[in-house]
Amino acid sequence: MSNSRQRIRLFLVLIAFLALSQDGVRPHILATVSQLETSPLRSAPDLTEKAKPTSETLHLDSAPQEDGESKAAEQTLRNLFREAHFSEAILIAQNQLRSETLSVIYKEWLREQLPTLKLGLAWQFIRQGRCEDAQSYLEPAQKGNSSALALKGLGYCALKRRDSYAALDYLQHYVEKNPMDPESYILLAEAKESLGLMDEALQLTQKAQSLETLTDEERDELQHREQKITAKLDEVPAQGEISAGYFLLRFQIQENQNLVQGSLEILQNHVQNLVQNLGFEYPTNPIEVIFHRQDNFNRSTHGPEWSSGIYDGRMRIPVQPQQILDENLARVLRHELTHAMLSEQARHQFLPRWFQEGLAQFAECPQFCLSYRFAATSQRFLNPEAFEQSFQQLSDMEAQLAYRQSLYLILTLNRQYQGLSGLKQIIQQLPQLNVMSSDQILSQVGSDYRSLYTLASEGWTQQKSF
Ligand SMILES: [Zn+2]
C-alpha cells in the first residue's frame, strides 16, 4: 500500500473511531466478532458435507424373492427412500410390518432395513441442526448395515452439546470402523481440545493429513487447523483451568490469575440475566472460556486483527499480562457469552448476522444497553442484504457501521414491544424453528424483516436516539 493511500486509510479509521466514540459505543466492543458460521464444525463445508450420509450414499439391501404384493410394497418404500422422505418411509414400513397379507420373508427383510431408514432420518435432522431430534433415531440405527455412521452422528451430536467424554467414546469407535474419513479426526481433535488434551488434538490433525484421499481444500483446512492448534499448544504449559457453574475457564496462571474470580462472577450473573429476562435456556454443559495471551490470539484464532473476542464454539478472549477486570473486559465477556448462548438456543444453526451481533451488543450492559445516543453522522443505513451475511466480507469501515446498525435494528425491534417481551418471545421460540431467516424469527412477533428494516433505516436517517 502506498504512503498516501495509507494516510487516507488512517484518516478514515480515525473518523470512524471518532464517530463511534461520540455515539457512546466503544469501538473495541463493536470489533468483537462471532465466528458462528465459521465455527469448527462448519468451517470446511466439504469436510462436513462429504461424509454426511444421504439417500444417495445409504442403501437398502436387495430384497429376497417376493410375490406381487411384497414387490409393490418394496417399491413404495424404495421410492420414498430415494427421495429422502425418511419419516414417511418409516411410517409406511411400520404399517407394512403390521400387515397380515405381506409375506413373512418380506417382513423379515423389512425389519432389517428399519435401522437404515432411521439413520437417513437422523442425518436429515443433523443437517438441519436438529441433533435432539436425531438422537432417538441414531440409537437404533447402530444395529443396521451402516452402524458406523450412526456412531459418527452420535459423536457429532455429543460434541455439539459439549459432552466431550461421550463424543470421544463414539468417535473413537467410529474411527476404528472407518479410518479413512478425515472429518472424524477433526471431530475427535475437537473433543480432545475440549478436554485440554492439545497434544493429542495436534496428533489427530496431523494424522488426518496423511490420508491419501484428501482433496486440496481438505488438506488446506487441516494445515490451517494444525497451525492454530500449535499456537494454542504454546499456551498450555502456563495455563490453569477452573470449572465453576456453567463455565470451564482456561487462563494464564502467572499473568491472569487476578481475572478469574471476577470474570466467573460476571459470566454467572449474566447467564441468570439472559435466562430470566430474555428467555434463554440454561446451558446444558459447561461453556469453555479461554483467556489467550494477546500476542498469541491471532495465531490461535485467525480472526481479524481488530477483534477483541471471538466465539468459535469456545469463547476466546485476548488479554494482556496483569490486565485488570474493568467494564471494557466485562462487556466483552457478556458479548461473547450472548453469542455462546444464542448459538445453543438456535441449535447451532446460522442466525442472520444483524440479529446475532445486535443482540450481543444489546446484552453487553449488566441490565442491557437500552439507549443509543445519536451523534451527527451522514453514514447511510446499509442495504438490507448487508445485515444478513458475514460482516467479515465488508471493509473495516462498513463492518463497524454494520455492527452499530445491527444494534440499532435490535433497539428498534425492542421499542415496539412492552419491556423486553418481543425479544424474549423471539428467543424462546428459536429452538422450535427449522428455518432461521430474518422473516421467520420476526414472524414470532407478527413482524417481518422488510417492516423492521424500513422502520430502523428511517429512524437512522432522522437520527433518532433511544
Ligand atoms: Zn459479536
Q: How far is the CA of 200 from the centre of ligand 1 (A)?
A: 30
Q: Which residue has the cell 418409516?
A: 90
Q: How far is the CA of 192 from the centre of ligand 1 (A)?
A: 26
pLDDT in tens, 390-436: 787 777 788 888 999 999 999 999 998 888 999 999 999 999 888 88
Q: How far is the CA of 32 from the centre of ligand 1 (A)?
A: 5
pLDDT of residue 140: 86
Q: Cα separation of 369 and 364, whole Å?
A: 7
316 phi and psi, to 5 degrees? -115, 120
Q: How far is the CA of 159 from the centre of ligand 1 (A)?
A: 22
Average pLDDT for 24-47: 32
| Angle, CA of 167, 173 and 176, to the nearest 5° | 135
Q: Is the pLDDT of residue 371 over 50?
A: yes
Q: How far is the CA of 38 from the centre of ligand 1 (A)?
A: 13
Q: How far is the CA of 383 from the centre of ligand 1 (A)?
A: 20
Neighbours of 397 (CB within 10 A): 15
Strongest mean pLDDT among 146-150, 279-283, 321-325: 279-283
Q: Is the pLDDT of residue 365 over 90?
A: yes
Q: Cα separation of 108 and 63, whole Å?
A: 10
Q: How far is the CA of 329 from the centre of ligand 1 (A)?
A: 14
Q: Is the pLDDT of residue 449 over 60?
A: yes
Q: How would residue 15 be classed by pLDDT, with cut points 50, 70 and 90?
A: very low
Q: How far is the CA of 335 from the centre of ligand 1 (A)?
A: 6
pLDDT of residue 22: 30
pLDDT of residue 377: 67
Q: How far is the CA of 462 from the centre of ligand 1 (A)?
A: 26
Q: How far is the CA of 107 from the centre of ligand 1 (A)?
A: 54
Around 213, how many Cα atoms within 13 Å sit in the side-chain half-sphere? 9
For the chain, give the percent of residues with pLDDT over 70.
86
Q: How far is the CA of 340 from the centre of ligand 1 (A)?
A: 10
**Domain spans of the chain, in order of start:** 13-39+245-461, 54-145
Q: How far is the CA of 354 from the centre of ligand 1 (A)?
A: 10
Q: Which residues surround ligand 1, an ion (CB under 5 A)?
A: 32, 34, 357, 360
pLDDT in tens, 109-125: 999 889 989 999 998 88
Q: How far is the CA of 401 from the centre of ligand 1 (A)?
A: 13
Strongest mean pLDDT among 26-40, 125-139, 297-311: 125-139
Q: How far is the CA of 369 from the centre of ligand 1 (A)?
A: 14
pLDDT of residue 303: 63
Q: How far is the CA of 382 from the centre of ligand 1 (A)?
A: 18
Q: How would residue 76 be classed by pLDDT, with cut points 50, 70 and 90?
A: very high
Lowest mean pLDDT among 123-127, 239-243, 314-318: 123-127
Q: How far is the CA of 464 from the centre of ligand 1 (A)?
A: 24
Q: How would residue 62 be classed by pLDDT, with cut points 50, 70 and 90?
A: confident
Region class of 352: left (phi > 0), else alpha (psi between -120 and 50), else beta: beta
Q: How would residue 280 be classed by pLDDT, with cut points 50, 70 and 90?
A: very high
Q: How far is the CA of 288 from the centre of ligand 1 (A)?
A: 16
- CATH topology assigned to domain 13-39+245-461: Neutral Protease; domain 2 (1.10.390)
Q: Which residues pair with 460 in a beta bridge?
A: none
Q: How far is the CA of 16 from the centre of ligand 1 (A)?
A: 18
Lowest mean pLDDT among 33-37, 95-99, 371-375, 392-396: 33-37
Q: How far is the CA of 420 from the centre of ligand 1 (A)?
A: 20
Q: How far is the CA of 37 from the centre of ligand 1 (A)?
A: 12
Q: Is the pLDDT of residue 376 over 80?
A: no
pLDDT of residue 12: 38
Q: How many Å from the N-terminal Cα to the C-terminal Cα in the chain?
A: 40
Q: How far is the CA of 360 from the centre of ligand 1 (A)?
A: 6
Q: Cα separation of 34 and 403, whole Å?
A: 11
Tell me what the pLDDT averaged over the chain comes to: 83
Average pLDDT for 347-370: 92
pLDDT in tens, 154-212: 999 998 888 899 999 999 999 998 888 888 888 899 899 888 898 999 999 999 999 88
Q: How far is the CA of 409 from the centre of ligand 1 (A)?
A: 15
pTM of this prediction? 0.79
Q: Is the pLDDT of residue 28 over 70?
A: no
Q: How far is the CA of 33 from the centre of ligand 1 (A)?
A: 4
Q: Is the pLDDT of residue 1 over 60?
A: no
Q: How far is the CA of 349 from the centre of ligand 1 (A)?
A: 16
Q: How would residue 56 be classed by pLDDT, with cut points 50, 70 and 90?
A: low
Neighbours of 401 (CB within 10 A): 23
